[in-house]
Chains A and B, each alone.
Chain A
Amino acid sequence: MPKQLMRGSHVLGEAAVRAGCRYYFGYPITPQNEVPEYMSGRLIQVGGTFVQAESELASINMVIGAAMAGARVMTTSSSPGISLMQEGLSYLAGLELPAVIANVVRGGPGLGNIAPAQSDYFQATRGGGHGDYRTIVLAPASCQELCDLTIKAFDLADKYRNPVMIMGDGMMGQMMEPVEFPEPIDPADLPVKDWTLTGAKGRPSRVILSLLLAPKVLEDHNFKLVRKYDAVVRNETDWEEYMLEDARQVVVAYGTAARIAKGAIKRVREMGLKVGLLRPKTLWPFPEKPLKELSRVVRQLLVFEMSAGQMVEDVKMAVEGQAQVHLYGRPGGVIPTPDEVAHQISHYYYQAGLMDRDQQGERLGGAA
């Protein structure tokens, strides 16, 4: 199939449709309005259903209903809207319902602004809603990956009967890149789910609930969820490694920040600095294991994120004090240039004395 030049928000919608999503419930919020706008037209073409809900609360609960009925269903929103959906996310996890939720993150807290940010990392990876649960969180860094991970999100949601979140940001939603879409899936060809509410014809009636009043029963349910989450960690943790073979310093960044970091790494590589990138593609489960292994051979990690510092905590936990972890965080929707990030990289690189003898001489000479 030829590549198409397409805006990120539309890629998200088109990928969902091709994954067999026929139900979209949403509420407008900048910077992701192009998604509901796209879905409202596209779903008509494929016989699907689009409902513009009265709020994000209603949207996520319509998602719950459609998921109970066995449909592939999606909603999208941006930071304040995702906050309103947190109760629903907790229910989706507790009810073990598959659904895809995309967060086109903007600057917060509060109303904040509509600029690209990554400051919803805690909310996405820690649950956000109440109770012991986990949301699978995918972090694409290009329009092609947005397409691929959106399709994967639907598969993971069904496989684990769990909500899956796609973490993007306003830049990813607006930028245009060539994308190659896979052939669409016909929802009728998807495996039949044996737990949905479809009317008790020829079988006993079914109940989908998360109300488990007896503490031991709820504990058993929660431990069952834990076993499921353990399987997700084992099977689905995903990341990209870039120029890590000889790296002495590792930048850890995801999504838009990772793209900027790649540009920065190219620059410092030209200066002879041995820097690589580890880019989590799944924010939960977080790639702890590769980071832990890296920390045995690399003395320094620089976490670059478009927030005041959230993922940095996961990196620190992963390396367990075996390596220095520094943060370069830019909250509020500020997008640093590759040069700024390169400056930070070289600053910490030199500070840690990671340069070669000749580089050191050069630097010392320069300083003199």
Chain B
Amino acid sequence: MKKIFEAPKSLKENLFHYCPGCGHSIIHRLVAEVIDELGIQERTIGVPPAGCAVLAYNYFDVDTGEAPHGRALAVATGLKRVLKDHVVFTYQGDGDIAAIGTAESIHAANRGEKVTAIFVNNGTYGMTGGQMAPTTLPGMGSTTTPGGRDVVRDGQPLDLTQMLGQAKGSVFLERVSVATPKHIRRAKKAIKKAFQVQLDGLGFALVEVLSPCPTNWKMDPVAAYEWTDKEMTKIFPLGVIKDITGYDKD
């Protein structure tokens, strides 16, 4: 019998601990598939975040090293500067990369660190129980914005990926989503390209993935996916934010 579908080699055979409907499981799989397809499993090093994906080392079957909260891109810088021929990627949530780690993110991008960042944006602090994130939408409820995010009191959502576009060392930045099968296919393409940028030594690449958090959004998974697709994209529109790779447009 011909096998037409199987688990990615770069994922361990562990059951995901993520909540039902969480986007991490999909995004993990996409990253693992890309690592397989590029044939880089044996020279890839991952830096998981603090937050819900802190246990990513249980899933990715590549060398992984833990970073303190927000510092993944600094740790990745140290790794990549030593292991120049290896592939280093960070996997970070919105709190990690766009709040506590904003400085590390901007400066890694500005130095053009030849690493790949996967930025999972679900608009909330998932692991700590649904507090406001820098990416929480205006009016969106959270445990620390019980009446909804008030932009006068709490500020506007932070568009980190746009900010990184200003950094001269960033080469490829795209915002994708896992809300629909079509978007998932697009997301995989973007992730693959972000790894290719690193393989080609061009500079800093990041893919922001809009991802649902049914548990903390207090929605059922279907509603959460619809909300990701309809509401999040109003504030965080999908598409290529920066591409100076010189690759043929796809």
What residues of chain A have their CB less than 8 Å away from a CB belonging to chain B?
A: 23, 25, 49, 51, 53-55, 57-59, 61-71, 73, 87-88, 91, 95, 197-202, 205-211
Chain B stretch 107-165: residues in CB contact (< 8 A) with chain A: 107, 111
Which of B41-49, B193-201, B208-216 lines the interface with chain A? Answer: B41-49
What residues of chain B have their CB less than 8 Å away from a CB belonging to chain A?
A: 41-45, 47, 54-55, 57, 60-68, 71, 74-83, 86, 103-104, 106-107, 111
- What is the chain A residue whose CB lies nearest that of B103? A54
Report yes or no: B61 in contact with A198, Cβ–Cβ below 8 A.
no
A198 to B55, CA, bound (A): 20
Give the chain A neighbours of B111 by CB distance below 8 A. 51
Q: Count how many pairs of residues, one from A and one from B, have CB atoms less than 8 Å apart in the complex.
A: 134
Give the chain A neighbours of B75 by CB distance below 8 A. 61-62, 64-65, 68
Report yes or no: B83 in contact with A199, Cβ–Cβ below 8 A.
yes
Report yes or no: A58 in contact with B83, Cβ–Cβ below 8 A.
no
- Minimum Cβ distance to chain B for residue A365 (Å): 66
Report yes or no: A200 in contact with B74, Cβ–Cβ below 8 A.
no
Give the chain A neighbours of B67 by CB distance below 8 A. 61, 64-65
A–B complex contacts, Cβ < 8 Å, 15 sampled: A25-B78, A61-B75, A62-B75, A64-B74, A65-B74, A65-B81, A68-B45, A69-B79, A197-B83, A199-B44, A199-B62, A201-B42, A207-B65, A208-B64, A211-B66
- What is the chain B residue whose CB lies nearest that of A97? B65
- Minimum Cβ distance to chain B for residue A73 (Å): 7
Given A87-B68, A199-B43, A206-B63, does the pair A57, B104 have CB atoms closer than 8 Å?
Answer: yes
Choose one: A55, A61, A91, A197; the contact of B64 (CB below 8 Å): A197
- Minimum Cβ distance to chain A for residue B107 (Å): 4
- Minimum Cβ distance to chain B for residue A130 (Å): 11
Report yes or no: A49 in contact with B81, Cβ–Cβ below 8 A.
yes
- What is the chain A residue whose CB lies nearest that of B106? A54
Report yes or no: B77 in contact with A65, Cβ–Cβ below 8 A.
yes
Report yes or no: B81 in contact with A199, Cβ–Cβ below 8 A.
no
- Minimum Cβ distance to chain A for residue B77 (Å): 5
Report yes or no: A68 in contact with B65, Cβ–Cβ below 8 A.
yes
- Minimum Cβ distance to chain B for residue A81 (Å): 15
Give the chain A neighbours of B106 by CB distance below 8 A. 54
Closest 4 CB pairs of A and B: A65-B78, A61-B74, A69-B82, A61-B71
Give the chain A neighbours of B57 by CB distance below 8 A. 207, 209
Give the chain B neighbours of A68 by CB distance below 8 A. 45, 65, 75, 78-79
Choose one: B42, B44, B103; the contact of A58 (CB below 8 Å): B103
Choose one: B60, B66, B82; the contact of A95 (CB below 8 Å): B66
Given A65-B74, A65-B78, A198-B86, does the pair A205, B64 have CB atoms closer than 8 Å?
Answer: yes
- Minimum Cβ distance to chain B for residue A21 (Å): 12
Given A49-B81, A61-B68, A211-B66, does the pair A55, B61 have CB atoms closer than 8 Å?
Answer: no
Report yes or no: A208 in contact with B66, Cβ–Cβ below 8 A.
yes
A210 to B57, CA, bound (A): 12
Give the chain A neighbours of B55 by CB distance below 8 A. 211
Give the chain A neighbours of B42 by CB distance below 8 A. 199-202
- Minimum Cβ distance to chain B for residue A101 (Å): 14
Give the chain A neighbours of B81 by CB distance below 8 A. 23, 49, 51, 62, 65-66
Given A55-B103, A65-B74, does the pair A208, B82 have CB atoms closer than 8 Å?
Answer: no
Give the chain A neighbours of B79 by CB distance below 8 A. 65-66, 68-69, 197
Given contacts A57-B103, A69-B78, 4 further A-B contacts (CB under 8 A): A57-B74, A58-B71, A67-B78, A69-B82
Choose one: B54, B76, B86; the contact of A199 (CB below 8 Å): B86
Give the chain A neighbours of B83 by CB distance below 8 A. 69, 197-199
A73 to B78, CA, bound (A): 9
- Minimum Cβ distance to chain B for residue A314 (Å): 29
- Minimum Cβ distance to chain B for residue A295 (Å): 42
- What is the chain A residue whose CB lies nearest that of B78? A65
Give the chain B neighbours of A61 by CB distance below 8 A. 67-68, 71, 74-75, 78, 104
Give the chain B neighbours of A198 by CB distance below 8 A. 45, 63, 83, 86
Give the chain A neighbours of B65 by CB distance below 8 A. 64-65, 68, 95, 197, 207-209
- What is the chain A residue whose CB lies nearest that of B87? A199
A199 to B41, CA, bound (A): 8
- Minimum Cβ distance to chain A for residue B43 (Å): 4
A233 to B127, CA, bound (A): 39
Give the chain B neighbours of A207 by CB distance below 8 A. 57, 63-66
A62 to B111, CA, bound (A): 13
Choose one: A25, A51, A57, A208; the contact of B71 (CB below 8 Å): A57
Report yes or no: A66 in contact with B68, Cβ–Cβ below 8 A.
no
Give the chain B neighbours of A73 by CB distance below 8 A. 78
- Minimum Cβ distance to chain B for residue A97 (Å): 9
Give the chain A neighbours of B68 by CB distance below 8 A. 61, 64, 87-88, 91
A206 to B76, CA, bound (A): 16
Report yes or no: A200 in contact with B82, Cβ–Cβ below 8 A.
no
